[in-house]
Amino acid sequence: MKISYPPRLNLAHTPTPLDLLPRLSKKLGIDLYIKRDDLTGAELTGNKVRKLEFVFADALAKGADTVLTCGAAQSNHCRATAVGAARLGLRCRLLLRTADLSNPPFPEGNLFLDRLMGAEIVWITPEEYRRRNEIFEREAATLRKQGRKPYVVPEGASNPLGAWGYIRAAEELAQDLSNLPGGKDRPTTIVHATGSGGTTAGLILGVRLCGINARVVGFNVCDDRDHFLRVIGEICESAIATYHLPLSFVRERDIEIVDGYVGRGYALSRPEELALLSEVARTEGIILEPVYTGKAFFGMIQELSRDPRTFGERIVFIHTGGIFGLLPRVQEIVPFLSND
Ligand SMILES: Cc1ncc(COP(=O)(O)O)c(C=O)c1O
């Protein structure tokens, strides 16, 4: 089916490779592939850049000169937005969450890159973050008064427009899978981390539009399954209505979220998660990070240890990037490095 995309800028290096993880595949007795969306770029690495290609195109079409978005202090999305804005000659204002406004985090990892890219940082409390739409309004009004033209990008660029990034990734995957043994008709499970829902929504829509024989399974790294059924359901329903996609969609049936692996909480790690991150690096030369990909991968391995066939015989794990979030966590990870 020919998919008709909204306008898009070329920011991501795509198509990204789909690679077999040979040693883990052997150990698990399945074919485990990894879609290297951590290779969408260097500073623009990860899943966000796929979404931002569509979102920035819209911002430019609307004559914006400043993009405004929000996230955690180590947000990959905010960093990708800051880099994208600098590439396009736009200004960027980030609403970043911190528990202590009087002592904001040291600029390292993603936050360092935000600053390097010249983003304007506004620190807000977790309570204000929950009211972020109000704060977006306040900041946008301030910018307008200064004669600037703000464009608000929601958390994680997870809206129907951003979801096109992963519809396009699914189209790429259809091509990747057709080159593998069994082709794209061999049952496949696409596993990934769910943080704000846009990646999962895009994959669900994209897999259906491209006719891939695949389950889309998200491991939530924050909140819970009910939250994501609502958020992802709204993105999918709104995308289907806005872009007249020829799909029917039922929240409870079409969204698969595996809950139970948030662990100690968003961006907090357990020793076993860090040990696995270190094992994946040693055995396959792949760098996961503790907040998203490390947690989802850990959840996937735990589910497979309970039932090796729970995701069928072919899995594609989407590596959604996030390497800069690893750097501020080095001290915590060092005890799990091993030369055994
Ligand atoms: C590295 C990484 N992986 C996965 C996700 C989750 O993607 P989404 O926000 O689209 O659910 C994010 C952001 O939240 C991320 O930064």
* Residue with CA at minimum distance from ligand 1 atom 14: 195
Side-chain half-sphere CA neighbours of 190 within 13 A: 31
The pLDDT score that the predictor gives to residue 338 is 81
The answer to which of 1-5, 210-214, 308-312 has the lowest mean pLDDT is: 1-5
Which residues are 258's β-sheet partners? 219
197 lines ligand 1 (CB under 6 A): yes
Q: Mean pLDDT throughout 8-24?
A: 98
Q: Is residue 340 over pLDDT 60?
A: no
- The Cα 290–Cα 76 span in angstroms is 13
pLDDT of residue 9 exceeding 80, the answer is: yes
Give me the pLDDT at residue 16, please.
98
Q: Does ligand 1 have an atom closer than 6 angstroms to the CB of 158?
A: yes
User: Over the stretch 146-171, which tens digit does the pLDDT of each residue have?
Assistant: 999 999 999 999 999 999 999 999 99
- The answer to whether 196 is a known catalytic residue is no
pLDDT at 1 over 80: no
Q: State what percent of residues in the chain have pLDDT above 90.
A: 97
- What spacing in Å lies between the alpha carbon of 218 and ligand 1's midpoint? 11
* Active-site annotation holder among 4, 25, 75, 248: 75
Convert the pLDDT of each residue in 52-99 to its tens digit. 999 999 999 999 999 999 999 999 999 999 999 999 999 999 999 999
DSSP letter (8 states) at residue 200? H
Tokens of residue 71, six digits: 């996230």
- Ligand 1 atom closest to residue 201's alpha carbon, by position in its atom list: 10
- Give yes or no for residue 162 CB within 6 A of ligand 1: no
Residue in 196, 257, 286, 318 to alter for ligand 1 test, most ligand atoms within 8 A of Cβ:
196
| pLDDT at residue 97 in the model | 98
Q: How far apart are CA 297 and CA 29, in angstroms?
A: 16
Nearest atom (ligand 1) to Cα of 46: 1
Give the integer Cα–Cα distance in Å for 316 and 300: 11
* Closest ligand 1 atom to 321 CA: 1
Rounded Cα distance between 332 and 274, Å, is 8
Residue 302 has pLDDT above 80, yes or no: yes
- 165 in contact with ligand 1, CB cutoff 6 A: no
Strand, helix or coil at 72?
Answer: strand
Q: How many angstroms separate the first and last alpha carbons of the chain?
A: 50
Pocket test for ligand 1, best of 168, 225, 228, 292 (most atoms within 8 A of CB): 292
Q: What band does 339 get if pLDDT is binned at 50, 70 and 90?
A: low
Atom of ligand 1 nearest to the CA of 325: 1
**pLDDT grade for 250, boundaries at 50, 70 and 90:** confident
Is the CB of residue 193 below 6 angstroms from any atom belonging to ligand 1?
yes
DSSP string for 122-171: EEE-HHHHHTHHHHHHHHHHHHHHTT--EEEPPGGG-SHHHHHHHHHHHH
Average pLDDT of the residues in 326-331: 95
Is 60 exceeded by the pLDDT of residue 181? Answer: yes
ω into residue 328 within 30 of 0, thus cis?
A: no
**Which long-range contacts link 137-146 to residues 24+ away (Cβ below 8 Å)?**
139/68, 139/93, 139/95, 140/68, 143/66, 143/68, 143/93
Given a contact cutoff of 8 angstroms between Cβ atoms, the answer to whether 294 and 269 are in contact is yes
- How confident is the model over 243-267, as a mean pLDDT? 95
Helix (H) or strand (E) holding 151: strand 150-152
Q: Which atom of ligand 1 is nearest to the CA of 202?
A: 10
The per-residue pLDDT for range 41-58, each reduced to its tens digit, is 999 999 999 999 999 999
Q: Whose CA is nearest to atom 13 of ligand 1?
A: 195
Ligand 1 contact via 194 beta carbon (within 6 Å): yes
CA–CA distance, 72 with 126 (Å, rounded to integer): 9
Q: How many CA atoms lie within 13 A of 163 on its CB side?
A: 27
Distance 320 CA to ligand 1 centre (A): 7
